[in-house]
Amino acid sequence: MEKAWFDEAVTGRSRAEIGIPETPDESFVLTDDDTIASIQQAHREACEAAREATAPLELTDILPGNRRGPLPLRFVYLHVLRELAQHCGHADILREQILAEDGASATS
């Protein structure tokens, strides 16, 4: 998500140039090389690259590279925050289901 919303949108590079799948659904396909550690490292690197790419920008700056068309940086930040919150909610639901199957309390 960080690569699409910050690298693609800020730089205008294609997804192929960035090295990410063309569609979001394809990003959920894992390979044998994908481990928790490798995915965490890739996420840290993408977040650092996003911070570097956006550091010189203002919230009102228009980012040219999004497939929806040019968007202000403020919109991109808010969209990414919404996506993160949504997916954290999904993770919490999964956690509660796993704990319920184990007979553990979801609040522990």
Give residue 77's pLDDT band: very low, low, confident or very high (50, 70, 90).
very high
Number of domains into which the chain is organized: 1
Does residue 91 belong to any structural domain of this protein? yes
Taking the whole predicted model, whether its pTM rises above 0.85 is answered as no
Task: Identify the pLDDT of residue 78.
Answer: 92
CA–chain centroid gap for 25, Å, is 13
Q: Determine, yes or no, domain membership for 107.
A: no
Q: Which domain holds residue 91?
A: 2-102
Amino acid residing at 31: T
Q: What pLDDT is stored for residue 107 in this prediction?
A: 55
> Is residue 36 domain-resident?
yes
Identify the CA nearest to 10 among candidates 65, 58, 56: 65
Whether 57 is in a domain gets the answer: yes
pLDDT digit string (tens) for 15-40? 888 888 888 788 778 888 989 899 88
Looking at residue 44, what is its pLDDT? 93
Q: How far apart are CA 63 and CA 68, in angstroms?
A: 11
Give domain status of residue 108, yes or no.
Answer: no
Q: How many helices (H) and strands (E) does the chain have?
A: 5, 2
User: Residue 72's pLDDT band (boundaries 50, 70, 90)?
Assistant: very high
